[in-house]
Amino acid sequence: MSVVTRFAPSPTGNVHVGSQRTALYNYIFARQQKGKFILRVEDTDQNRYIEGAVENLLSSLEQLGIEFDAGPGKEDDKGPYFQSERNEIYNREVQRLMDQGHAYRCFCTSERLDELRKEQMEKQTPTGYDGKCRSISSEESDERAKTEKFVIRLKIPKEGLCEFKDIVRRDVKIAWSQVDDQILVKSDGYPTYHLANVVDDHYMEVTHVIRGEEWLPSVPKHLFLYECFGWEAPQMAHLPLLLNADRSKLSKRQGDVAVEDYLKKGYTPDALNNFLALLGWNPGGKNEIYTMDELIEAFDINKITKAGAVFDVQKLNWMNGQYIKNMDVEKYLKEARKWLGDLKVNEDKLDIALMAVKTSLSTFQDVPVKLAVFTGEPSAPEAEAKEMLELESTKLVFKAYAEKVAKLDDLKVDDFKVIMKEVQIETGVKGKNLWMPVRIGLTGEIHGPELGYIVEYLGKEENIKRIMSYKL
């Protein structure tokens, strides 16, 4: 049987990084198994719908290169499939459950349910529906339905254990007594998540449900639904939670949580995919940089971990820096140019300036900050830098450097290394005492972008002028 996975978000806001990881795992697994990955928008809860959420969803997936397929038997229609357009199917299926006695109308008012909850809390007994309407006869139920509001509930077994296998959690046991008579259809006639999700997973021929751990307690309801419908349940894998650095649940209060926030800050889609893919699964070994194809090749659904995974922004910064560093030059220059903001850089030499900072960026947002060294006067050297300038050897280095630069027609990145080698041979000064004073002499700073590019950016005259400005 060919594998079908799905990403089934509810359009209730911008895509969360945890959701994106879910999408990614479903996508990677489907691609690895040469199966299909479908996108289903679970939008039956009209109250929670947020304007623009679907657009955000599609744009986040597109920017991260996660492409979805047409489901089995839907060759021309790639979706996304919207649950709000499938109400007829849910109504038909819930009617089947009612006819078989697996579901019943519940006429309890919200006041009664609130009262019940209050009592249960006072008595410190588990909260949940007490089954009052379970025993209403079908005749009475049909009659009352003509005039009264109702919801439809699932008649959950009340005894014993629900035992099932989860690919991540292995053998899971949940007592039926802990499972509520789930509402399947709300009083507005729309299905709840639980009904629509199971019906769709069946008709969309989903073979593997890969989703967040928060859905684990819902599995018994779903399995019971599959049983009542006489359908085979898909395999399930519940992914570990994403955590803040202090191991609390990842939250907005401690940093950004939307994929869009990270894209806006200049994280690359490849780095985000790489980073998210390793939150909850690890191929082992030291390498941490994986292209999408390598992830697809290495992924092992059986090795997803149970323990929560820390969303470590420092690590993401490092990884993103690696991606920028190794990025194809043309692609890099094109992208980096988008991040200049108001910075005024000599257009002719912009590419050299951008190349100079390529290896020192964590995100593209750093571009204007790192380029500042090119746009203004060199900074006044700080104490440590001054000390370097005062070394006897610095005099020799500066003199030799200026002489050699003066002899050239032009000054290019590649010339710089050659000159420095010559300066080293001529003066006998090596290592830090050779390189650092030149950097300080040219920029006023101890650290900074790659010196060869700075040298080319400044040009012959400016190189000599800056170096000679130190009256040594």
Rounded to whole angstroms, the Cα distance separating 219 from 187 reads: 24
Instruction: Please indicate whether residue 36 is annotated as part of the active site.
Output: no
Nearest approach in angstroms of CB 245 to ligand GLU is: 24
Nearer to ligand GLU, 197 or 207 (CB): 197
Rg from Cα positions in the chain:
31
Q: Which of 118, 165, 252, 465 is catalytic?
A: 252
Nearer to ligand GLU, 211 or 439 (CB): 211
Closest CB to ligand GLU among residues 9, 448: 9
CB of 8 to ligand GLU, least distance (A): 4
Closest CA to 220 of 150, 185, 172, 258: 172
Angle between helices 431-443 and 383-390 (to 10 degrees): 120
The residues facing 174 across adjacent strands are 162
Q: Which residues of 295-315 are buried (b: 16+ CB within 10 A; e: fewer)?
A: bbebbebeebeeebbebebee
Tell me the closest approach of the beta carbon of residue 215 to ligand GLU, in angstroms: 5
Taking the least distance from each CB to ligand GLU, the nearer of 59 and 322 is 59
The candidate with the shortest Cα–Cα distance to 260, out of 60, 450, 53, is: 60
Burial of 392 (0-12, 13-18, 19+ CB in 10 A): exposed
Give me the helix-helix angle, 193-203 and 87-99, nearest 10°.
100
Comparison of 49 and 193: residue with beta carbon closer to ligand GLU: 193
Rounded to 5°, the CA angle 315-316-320 comes to 120
* Binding interface with ligand GLU (CB under 6 A): 8-10, 42, 193, 197, 211, 215
CA dist., res. 43 & res. 463, Å (int): 63
Closest CA to 288 of 260, 242, 279: 279
Give the three-state DSSP class for 239: strand
Distance set, CA 133 to CA 148, 158, 448 (Å): 13, 15, 73
CB count in 10 Å sphere of residue 11: 22
Residue 423 has phi, psi (to 5 degrees) of: -60, -40
CB of 7 to ligand GLU, least distance (A): 8
Give the relative orientation of helices 431-443 and 392-407 as an angle to the nearest 10 degrees. Answer: 70
Q: How far is the CB of 45 from ligand GLU (least distance, A)?
A: 9
40/466 with CB nearer ligand GLU: 40
Q: How far is CA 281 from the centre of its chain?
A: 14
For the CB of residue 310, give the shortest distance to ligand GLU in the complex, in Å.
21
8 vs 467, beta carbon nearer ligand GLU? 8
CB of 448 to ligand GLU, least distance (A): 46
> Looking at the annotation, which residues are catalytic?
252
